[in-house]
Chains A and B, each alone.
Chain A
């Protein structure tokens, strides 16, 4: 096998020369969701027509044009139908493009599918992983080259995701394909995917990123305007990873998120953005609608209705985006509007108005019918006077005269709508009863397949017996709740189950009604108001104001210091006024220190400040008087101050505090600085070493800081030169 060859000769030759592995693709023909019920009870999703061509043809045609040589189609739901279709189509007979199918009956997710494929051991090299409902026209050469080069340099780069820029609606937080807003963090230099969130919680109003992301990557760009195309270029390690982790079911929610969180193995996911090419996946009814309209607008050129690619018959393009097949019978008074596709063999009656719709082959549309924004598949009979707005009508449906289909209605195969009946909006009508068991959203498409088929055949028998006359007797025969679909109607209306009310209008093909939009806008406005009122949350502009933050942080300790100093001052003043003993004051200040969690230096500073303030407050008329009163105060409270000035650091703190006082709070002290400093020295409160150390520290300070140093220069000089004894003459500056 190719893989073995590569391993053997890795060191001698370039492995690519030796084993030229054909480019393979895995096509999952089962989306493992139930978004398209009730239609998918009957037919697999990949065979549903998208602009009159089964979806799988778009995917296969694109793979073929992109240079893929082998496609492995994995079928699970309605696998027989898919295999029969592929065998009878032209795909199996194509020379350079081989399509093989793998069938399974008990897979419930993409993870199971990949595990099965791994067991079959058919994948030899890098492969393209795609779902059968993807429409694209991109070229794979660039992204394949990038992937291979990355893989050579870093063997942990196992997957490259294709993404496309597509803005999502800010009001309802939904992309144009009906999926939730997608948040991705990508490193712009290496294109590595760092964060992926598709089910963001809007009630919190914020998403959380791990700050370790910034540790490894210097730049991250966070996007909410990217759409995941669900086209992946994978290395074979992806398959073995799925096998190792049995709980990986969903490709994105489990696999990608699991890889991003796991730092043991260190696997990396990269992204590739496409700009002028198109890629999208049909996820729900709204995607069906958007992508159909994109195809009609020719964004997916060359996979458009008037160009023949595999599996379609070319329909001629006329003015204003209208595609009409050649042999339709159209009344002269019928108005076919713009952006409409009419298939072969359709008959359109008088005064019919069709706009923005897709009509399939062999349909009969009566007179005075109005069809707007709807998707009508093959062999549908619409009688006179009907009105269809934004609905999907499947094969073989009969809509009797005068019926009205409100926006969002889905009519499944062979349903009959009775005369004059108004189908309520967003309802799904099917011949099958609604399954009563409501599982999680990972329910199988074919869960009720077996039971469904039985019902269908019994229905068919009764139809044959009564010779095509549908009466309400049929409805009475079925058990369970039945909704009449008017006289002559056949089918069940599925009720909206709890919990998916929102999904109805979000994922429906009808445009979102104006009142829901207004509601959504109202809620976003309310949210914004809430955010701005609450000061602790970031402002809507998202810009942090650094100053306010900084001051916020600093204010707290500053607050505490101020309180502490105030308390100390109050204690001191009380001591002064009430003549409390110094020991008691010391005790009180100590307890304050403990309660405010301060150091001795802080106490010293606070007390000194209080002393100075007291001195300042005693009435004085001249600086010399102030000086004298200060000295008296210091002398009086010497003991108190000394008890806190045991250490040099504390003394330096006092000197610095004094400087601060002189500069800011009590400017009268500035000329007296050196005198008071000397006085402090004289009284043994501040030692020589402290003063000298303070001087040394100030050597490298700015001029503004050195003011007091200069003032005390002489004193300091004398300190340095004088002998060790303390009894020395005062050498004061007058």
Chain B
């Protein structure tokens, strides 16, 4: 097709150049095709990971158990509902997950699906943990050493669970796996968001009047989004490929990441 046309032109050198470019264009077309295919696979993985994880629910949740979770995670929701479908009866404690209070949404969803739910504050977790049989949470990312980057407050829940010997189970799709270790200086463990989620600006605007007083802000509001949970506090990872020990996670990286990509170089700052 497009390769045939340049052959009719007069100069040979020209047609050679054009055939090379035709080669390049077909190569680039193949590359494009491969990349798109891989991306589609990834998208497929992400959309189906919930089902695969939820299939394993019935093995882990037994009759008359009490499950604790914090904040809202879609994976956890599907997991619990799958167990409910298989006729397990259990109760769920949901910690509200300040300052975004996503736990409220999760509690509502659970109730509409017919699960017995109890809503508690984050600070009440330690008080209630003795009554809990298992803690099941979602994750934002899983580090190469098995540590978890999870919504803020989960480190506290993990510590409470360890204290009372309650299994701490983390549900994570395999796309959440990260090849970096937390001691890596490139890794930003946390993201500090706007303090307006904690404080009302209008109410505290007189504390932030820098015109009067010392002009240095006396009130500093910190709103971290994530917590780092060390691997020794995690009992089990449930991924779409099955359940794994935290110390096994580094082996999974090889399945998803090439060895050349493991070291993420920081791009030198471009002069813009």
Residues of A bordering B, CB below 8 Å: 89-90, 137, 164-167, 169, 171-172, 174, 176, 178, 225, 275-278, 286, 289-290, 293-294, 297-301, 311, 313, 316-317, 320-321, 326-327, 338-339, 344, 355-356, 373, 390, 510-512, 517
The segment from B23-31, B201-209, B239-247 that touches chain A is B201-209
What are 26 inter-chain pairs, A to B, with CB distance below 8 A? A165-B200, A166-B201, A167-B205, A169-B211, A176-B205, A176-B209, A176-B210, A275-B196, A275-B202, A276-B196, A290-B208, A290-B209, A294-B208, A297-B221, A298-B193, A298-B195, A301-B192, A313-B269, A317-B192, A320-B220, A327-B269, A338-B220, A339-B220, A356-B217, A390-B215, A511-B211
With A275-B202, A276-B197, A278-B201 known as contacts, the answer to whether A289 contacts B209 (CB < 8 A) is: no
Neighbouring A residues of B212 by C-beta, 8 Å:
169, 171-172, 511-512, 517
- Provide the main secondary structure of the chain A interface: loop
Chain A residues with CB under 8 Å of B192's CB are 298, 301, 317
Chain A residues closer than 8 Å to B118, beta-carbon distance: none
Choice from B202, B208, B216 contacting A339 with Cβ under 8 Å? B216
CB-based nearest B residue for A320 = B220
Determine whether B258 belongs to the interface, using a CB cutoff of 8 Å to chain A: no
Chain B positions 64 through 75: 1 when the CB is less than 8 Å from some CB of chain A, otherwise 0: 000000000000
A326 and B211 in contact, given A176-B205, A298-B193, A321-B220 (Cβ under 8 angstroms): no
Which single member of B194, B215, B223 contacts A511 (CB below 8 Å)? B215
Of all A-B residue pairs in the complex, the 3 with the closest CB atoms, nearest first, are: A165-B202, A301-B194, A511-B215
Q: How far is the CA of A510 from the CA of B215 in the complex (A)?
A: 8
Contacts of B208 in A (CB 8 A): 176, 290, 293-294, 297
A289 to B205, CA, bound (A): 15
Are A165's CB and B269's CB within 8 A? no
For B269, the chain A residues whose CB sits under 8 A away are 313, 326-327, 344
A510 CA to B213 CA, complexed, in Å: 10
B194, B209, B214: the one within 8 Å of A298 (CB):
B194
Nearest A residue (CB) for B196: A276
Q: Which residues of B contact A165 (CB under 8 A)?
A: 200-203, 205
Considering the chains assembled together, what is the distance between the CA atoms of A178 and B215 in angstroms? 13
Question: Interface on chain B toward A: helix, strand, loop, or mixed SS?
Answer: loop
- Give CA–CA (A512, B193) in the complex, Å: 30
Q: How far is the CB of B102 from chain A (nearest CB, A)?
A: 16
Cα distance A326–B195 in the bound complex, in angstroms = 25
Interface digits, B222-242 against A, CB 8 Å rule (1 contact, 0 not)? 010000000000000000000
Say how far A136's CB is from chain B's closest CB, in angstroms. 12
Bound CA span A89–B271, Å? 11
Minimum Cβ distance to chain A for residue B253 (Å): 25
5 more contacts with CB within 8 A, not counting A298-B192, A339-B216, are: A165-B205, A293-B210, A297-B208, A326-B266, A326-B269
- Determine if A299 and B206 form an interchain contact, defined as CB atoms under 8 angstroms apart: no
Inter-chain contacts of A174 with B (CB < 8 A): 211
Q: How many residues of B contact A (CB 8 A)?
A: 29
**Residue of B with least CB distance to A227:** B205
Q: Which residues of A contact B195 (CB under 8 A)?
A: 297-299
Q: Which residues of B contact A297 (CB under 8 A)?
A: 195, 208, 217, 220-221
Given A297-B221, A298-B193, A313-B272, the answer on whether A511 and B202 have CB atoms closer than 8 Å is no
CB distance from B115 to the nearest CB of A (A): 31
Given the known interface contacts A297-B217, A511-B213, A511-B214, the answer about A166 and B196 at a Cβ–Cβ threshold of 8 Å is no
Asked if B210 and A339 sit within 8 Å, CB to CB, the answer is: no
> Complex formed: what's the CA distance from A326 to B208 in Å?
29
The answer on a CB contact under 8 Å between A137 and B194 is: yes
User: Knowing A286-B211, A293-B217 touch, does A301 contact B193 (C-beta < 8 A)?
Assistant: yes
A373 to B269, CA, bound (A): 28
CB-based contact A373/B215 at 8 Å: yes
* A275 contact from B188, B200, B215, B220, Cβ within 8 A: B200
Q: State in angstroms the CA–CA spacing of A137 and B194 once bound together.
A: 10
Alpha-carbon gap, A219 to B214, bound state (A): 40
A320 to B192, CA, bound (A): 12
Note all chain A residues with C-beta closer than 8 A to B203.
Answer: 165
Say which residue of B196, B209, B216, B272 sits within 8 Å of A299 (CB atoms). Answer: B196
Whether B206 pairs with A167 at a CB distance below 8 angstroms is yes
Contact for B216 among A90, A137, A178, A356, CB less than 8 A: A356
**Would you give the shortest CB distance from A274 to chain B, in whole angstroms?**
9
Kindly state the separation between the CA atoms of A326 and B186 in the bound complex, as whole angstroms: 11
B114 to chain A, nearest CB (A): 34
Cβ distance A34 to chain B, nearest Cβ, rounded Å: 21
Measured between beta carbons, the chain B residues less than 8 angstroms from A293 are 208, 210, 217
Minimal beta-carbon separation of B186 from chain A (angstroms): 10
CB contacts (< 8 Å) of A320 on chain B: these are 220
The interface residues of chain A lying within 8 Å CB-to-CB of B210 are: 176, 289-290, 293, 511
Closest to A289 in B: B210
Q: A321 to chain B: which residues have CB within 8 Å?
A: 220
Quick one: closest B residue to A317, CB to CB?
A: B192
**A174 to B206 alpha-carbon distance, docked (Å):** 11
- Of A90, A294, A316, A317, which is within 8 A of B272 by CB? A90
Cα of A299 to Cα of B194 in the assembled complex, Å? 5
State how many angstroms separate the Cβ of A296 from the closest Cβ of chain B. Answer: 8
Q: What's the nearest-Cβ distance from chain A to residue B180, in Å?
A: 16
Could you tell me the distance between the alpha carbons of A204 and B196 in the complex, rounded to whole angstroms? 37
A137, A169, A326, A356: the one contacting B215 at CB < 8 Å is A356
In the complex, residue of chain B having the shortest beta-carbon distance to the beta carbon of A517: B212
Pick the contact of B194: A172, A278, A390 (CB < 8 A). Answer: A278
Q: Which residues of B contact A166 (CB under 8 A)?
A: 201-202, 205
Q: A169-B212, A172-B212, A390-B215 are in contact. Are A164 and B194 (CB under 8 A)?
A: no
Q: Which residues of A contact B194 (CB under 8 A)?
A: 137, 276, 278, 298-301
* Partner pick for B202 among A89, A164, A294, A301, CB 8 A cutoff: A164
Q: Which residue on chain B has the smallest CB distance to residue A311?
A: B272
Q: Closest Cβ of chain B: how far from A29's Cβ, in Å?
A: 20
Contacts of A301 in B (CB 8 A): 192-194
In the bound complex, CA of A341 to CA of B260 (Å): 35
Q: How far is it, in angstroms, between the C-alpha of A316 and the C-alpha of B192 when the chains are bound?
A: 12
Cα-based distance from A530 to B251 in the complex (angstroms): 81
Docked complex Cα distance between A379 and B200 (Å): 38
A453 to B223, CA, bound (A): 48
What residues of chain B lie closer than 8 Å to A172, measured between beta carbons?
211-212
